[in-house]
């Protein structure tokens, strides 16, 4: 016996990285089950794989999720989540006035957007002859990040090198070995490497400013929330 098919509402949004308009639907029960299971698992790779699977399904498999910058992934997931289970969330944050007291804060995730620094650029002028063209971290890159050690962070930096220009010569990122890139970055001065850090520090990210009141001191402060995990605690 054929049972009736349930219709699912379809919404649209604009990808922050490209301005492309895409259509999406809310989570289905099968996807919510996946998210509940992965939330009980501390394996970050499982989390990334689930994010990819859920976003692919909710965008009708028309997006190459693996190639999207992480800030697109985070934005997509947050907007899908808002249409699936509601836009209001409650998170517990640490009050900045004493840096220890925790307090609940209500956030409307429909108001959360990817913030883009006007001074940000993906071109790093290392010196007069050498420049780097950078690309943003993607899901597969984040899987490499087992911890926050220097070696692990260098893996991400290396993966984000799209091109290296030396005068008229152009080296493509995939053609350069990890050792070559490590040697190149290690030969930089502190001032030159600061330019690399600036690319990552100013790149687009989920960012929202909200107010929080310390229940002990009664002091109201502004607090900045960044990154997907901060909105889903």
pLDDT of 33-51, one tens digit each? 888 777 666 667 777 888 8
Domain membership of residue 148 (yes or no) is yes
Say if residue 149 is in the same domain as residue 219.
no
Say if residue 93 is in the same domain as residue 54.
no
Read off the DSSP letter of residue 233. Answer: -
Domain membership of residue 32 (yes or no) is yes
- Quick one: pLDDT band at residue 32, thresholds 50, 70, 90? confident
Domain count of the fold of the chain: 3
User: Token digits for 63?
Assistant: 């997006």
CA–CA separation, 78 and 68 (whole Å): 15
- Quick one: pLDDT band at residue 6, thresholds 50, 70, 90? confident
- pLDDT value, residue 146: 56
pLDDT at 218 over 90: yes
Say if residue 102 is in the same domain as residue 64.
no
Say if residue 64 is in the same domain as residue 128.
no
- pLDDT value, residue 149: 61
pLDDT at 175 over 80: yes
Beta strands in 34-193 (DSSP E): 88-94, 102-108, 113-115, 123-125, 130-134, 161-166, 169-172
Domain membership of residue 76 (yes or no) is yes
Question: Please, what is the average pLDDT of the chain?
Answer: 89
With both helix axes pointing from N to C terminus, report the angle between 150-159 and 178-186 in degrees, rounded to the nearest 10: 110
What percent of the chain clears pLDDT 90, i.e. is strictly above it? 63
Domain membership of residue 1 (yes or no) is no
Q: Which of 25-29, 64-68, 106-110, 164-168 has the highest mean pLDDT?
A: 164-168
Domain membership of residue 2 (yes or no) is no
CA–CA separation, 71 and 113 (whole Å): 10
Read off the DSSP letter of residue 223. Answer: E
Domain membership of residue 15 (yes or no) is yes
Say if residue 107 is in the same domain as residue 79.
no
- Quick one: pLDDT band at residue 98, thresholds 50, 70, 90? very high
Who wins on pLDDT, 13 or 147?
Answer: 13
- pLDDT value, residue 42: 66
State how beta strands 123-125 and 130-134 pair. Answer: antiparallel
pLDDT at 148 over 60: no
Say if residue 79 is in the same domain as residue 34.
yes
Range 88-94, long-range pairs (CB < 8 A, 24+ positions): 89/231, 89/232, 91/225, 91/230, 91/231, 91/233, 92/233, 93/212, 93/223, 93/225
Say if residue 66 is in the same domain as residue 13.
yes
Say if residue 182 is in the same domain as residue 146.
yes
pLDDT at 201 over 70: yes
- Give the residue numbers spanning the domain of 220: 88-113+204-233
- pLDDT value, residue 131: 97
Say if residue 173 is in the same domain as residue 217.
no
- pLDDT value, residue 71: 93
- Asked whether 160 and 144 are in contact (CB, 8 A), the reply is no
Say if residue 65 is in the same domain as residue 18.
yes
Say if residue 37 is in the same domain as residue 61.
yes
Instruction: Give the CA distances from residue 1 to residues 5, 8, 104, in Å, rounded to whole numbers and listed in that order.
Output: 12, 22, 49
């Amino acid at each position: 016996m054929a049972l009736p098919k349930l219709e699912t509402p379809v919404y649209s949004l604009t990808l922050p990285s490209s301005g492309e308009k895409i259509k999406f639907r809310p989570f289905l029960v099968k996807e919510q089950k996946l998210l509940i299971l992965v939330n009980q698992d501390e394996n970050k790779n499982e989390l990334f794989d689930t994010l990819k699977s859920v976003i692919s399904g909710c965008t009708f498999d028309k997006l190459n999720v693996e190639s999207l910058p992480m800030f697109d992934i985070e934005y997509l997931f947050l907007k899908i989540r808002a249409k699936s289970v509601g836009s209001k969330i409650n998170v517990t944050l640490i009050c900045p006035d004493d840096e220890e007291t925790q307090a609940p804060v209500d956030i409307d995730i429909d108001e959360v957007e990817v913030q883009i620094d006007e001074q940000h650029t993906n071109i790093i002028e290392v010196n007069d002859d050498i420049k780097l063209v950078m690309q943003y971290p993607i899901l597969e890159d984040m899987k490499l990040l087992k911890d926050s050690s220097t070696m692990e962070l260098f893996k991400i930096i290396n993966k984000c090198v799209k091109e290296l220009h030396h005068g008229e010569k152009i080296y493509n990122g995939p053609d350069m070995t990890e050792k070559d890139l490590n040697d190149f970055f290690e030969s930089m001065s502190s001032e030159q490497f600061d330019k690399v850090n600036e690319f990552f520090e100013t790149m687009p990210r989920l960012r929202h400013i909200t107010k929080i009141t310390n229940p002990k001191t009664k002091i109201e402060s502004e607090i900045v929330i960044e990154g997907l995990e901060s909105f889903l605690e």
